[in-house]
Chain A
Amino acid sequence: MESLNKPVVANLDFDDIKEDIINHFKNDDSFKDYNYTGSALNTLIDILAYNTHMNAITANFSINEMFINTAQKRENILSIAKGMNYIPTSTTAARVELTINVPRLGSERSFSIPVGTTLTASSGNTTYTFNLSQNYIAQFLSNETSKDIKMTFFQGQRLTERFIQDTSNVDFPVFDLLNTNIDTQTLAVRVNDIKYTMLNPEIESISSIDSSSVIFFVEEISNNRHRIKLGNGVIGKKVNIGDEVVVTYLSSVGELANGISTYSLSVAGRSDINIVSNSMSYGGASIESERSIKDNAPHWFQSQYRAVTTNDYETIVKKNYPDIQAINAYGGEEVGKPGKVFLTIKPKVGDKLSESAKLHIENNIIKKFNIVNIKPQILDPKYIELLLSSTIIYDNAKLTTNESALKNKIFSLFTSFNNDRLGSFKKSFFEQNLAEEIKLLDKSIVSINTRTNLRYDAVVTNNRLDTYQISFNNPLYHPLLGFNSNKGGILSTNDFTRVGKSFTSGFDDDGKGNLRLFDNLDNVKVYSNNKAGTINYGKGIIDIKDFDPKDGNINFTVVPDSFDVLSLNEYILRISLDSSSINIVEKDNIELINLLNKSRSV
Chain B
Amino acid sequence: MAIYDQKFIRKNVYKDLDFNFTKLALTNDVGTKSDTNSIKQSVVNLVMTNFGERPFHPEIGSDVNALLFEPGGALTYSIIEDAIESVLENFEPRIQVLSVRVDETGIDENRIFVRIAYNFLEKNEVDSFDVVLERLR
* A317-330 Cβ-contact flags toward B at 8 Å (1 or 0): 00000000000000
Which of these binds chain B: A28-36, A295-303, A452-460, A536-544? A28-36
B56 touches A14 (CB 8 A): yes
| Cross-chain contact of A43 among B18, B45, B93 (Cβ < 8 A) | B45
Known: A14-B56, A36-B94, A47-B55. A31 touches B46 (CB 8 A): no
Chain B, 47-90, CB within 8 A of any chain A CB:
49, 54-57, 60
| Cross-chain contact of A32 among B15, B54, B55, B60 (Cβ < 8 A) | B15
**Max chain A CB contacts within 10 Å: which of B14, B15, B60, B92?**
B15
Known: A40-B16, A40-B17, A40-B18. A15 touches B56 (CB 8 A): yes
* Cβ of B43 under 8 Å from chain A: yes
**Shortest Cβ gap from B16 to chain A (Å):** 4
**Shortest Cβ gap from A457 to chain B (Å):** 58
* A203-235 Cβ-contact flags toward B at 8 Å (1 or 0): 000000000000000000000000000000000
Of chain A, the residue at the smallest CB distance from B20 is A40
A31 touches B42 (CB 8 A): no
Q: How far is the CA of A59 from the CA of B56 in the complex (A)?
A: 19
Chain A, 7-46, CB within 8 A of any chain B CB:
14-15, 30-33, 36-41, 43-44, 46
Of chain B, the residue at the smallest CB distance from A35 is B93
| Cross-chain contact of B93 among A36, A50, A53 (Cβ < 8 A) | A36
| Cross-chain contact of A38 among B17, B32, B46, B57 (Cβ < 8 A) | B46
Size of the A side of the interface (Cβ < 8 Å), in residues, is 19
Known: A31-B15, A32-B13, A32-B15. A37 touches B46 (CB 8 A): yes
Residues of B within 8 A of A46 (CB): 54-55, 57
B42 touches A38 (CB 8 A): yes
Known: A36-B92, A36-B94. A41 touches B16 (CB 8 A): yes
A38 touches B15 (CB 8 A): no
Chain A, 503-537, CB within 8 A of any chain B CB:
none
A31 touches B56 (CB 8 A): no
Chain B, 1-37, CB within 8 A of any chain A CB:
12-19, 32-33
Residues of B within 8 A of A30 (CB): 15
* Cβ of B119 under 8 Å from chain A: no
Residues of B within 8 A of A39 (CB): 16-17, 38, 41-42, 45
Q: Please report whether the interface of chain A is mostly helix, strand, loop or mixed according to DSSP.
A: helix
Interface residues on B, range: 20 to 34
Q: How far is the CA of A33 from the CA of B56 in the complex (A)?
A: 20
**Shortest Cβ gap from A475 to chain B (Å):** 59
Q: How far is the CA of A510 from the CA of B13 in the complex (A)?
A: 92
**Max chain A CB contacts within 10 Å: which of B13, B56, B94?**
B56
Q: How far is the CA of A14 from the CA of B93 in the complex (A)?
A: 23
**Shortest Cβ gap from A55 to chain B (Å):** 13
Of chain A, the residue at the smallest CB distance from B17 is A40
Q: How far is the CA of A38 from the CA of B12 in the complex (A)?
A: 18
* Cβ of B91 under 8 Å from chain A: yes
A33 touches B16 (CB 8 A): yes
A31 touches B17 (CB 8 A): yes
B18 touches A38 (CB 8 A): no
| Cross-chain contact of A37 among B14, B17, B19, B92 (Cβ < 8 A) | B92
* A117-142 Cβ-contact flags toward B at 8 Å (1 or 0): 00000000000000000000000000
Residues of A within 8 A of B93 (CB): 36
B55 touches A41 (CB 8 A): no
**Shortest Cβ gap from B111 to chain A (Å):** 22
B42 touches A33 (CB 8 A): yes
Q: How far is the CA of A68 from the CA of B46 in the complex (A)?
A: 46
Beyond known contacts A36-B92, A50-B56: 18 more, CB 8 A cutoff? A31-B32, A32-B14, A32-B16, A33-B15, A33-B16, A36-B14, A36-B91, A36-B94, A37-B60, A37-B91, A38-B43, A39-B17, A40-B19, A41-B16, A43-B19, A44-B17, A46-B55, A46-B57
| Closest A-B pairs by Cβ, 8 of them | A38-B42, A33-B16, A38-B46, A50-B55, A37-B91, A40-B19, A14-B56, A40-B17
26 contacts between A and B (CB under 8 A): A14-B56, A15-B56, A30-B15, A31-B15, A31-B16, A31-B17, A31-B32, A32-B12, A32-B14, A32-B16, A33-B15, A33-B16, A37-B46, A37-B92, A38-B41, A38-B42, A38-B92, A39-B38, A39-B45, A40-B45, A41-B16, A43-B19, A50-B55, A50-B56, A53-B55, A53-B56
Which residues on A are within 8 Å of B, measured CB to CB?
14-15, 30-33, 36-41, 43-44, 46-47, 49-50, 53
Which residues on B are within 8 Å of A, measured CB to CB?
12-19, 32-33, 38, 41-43, 45-46, 49, 54-57, 60, 91-94
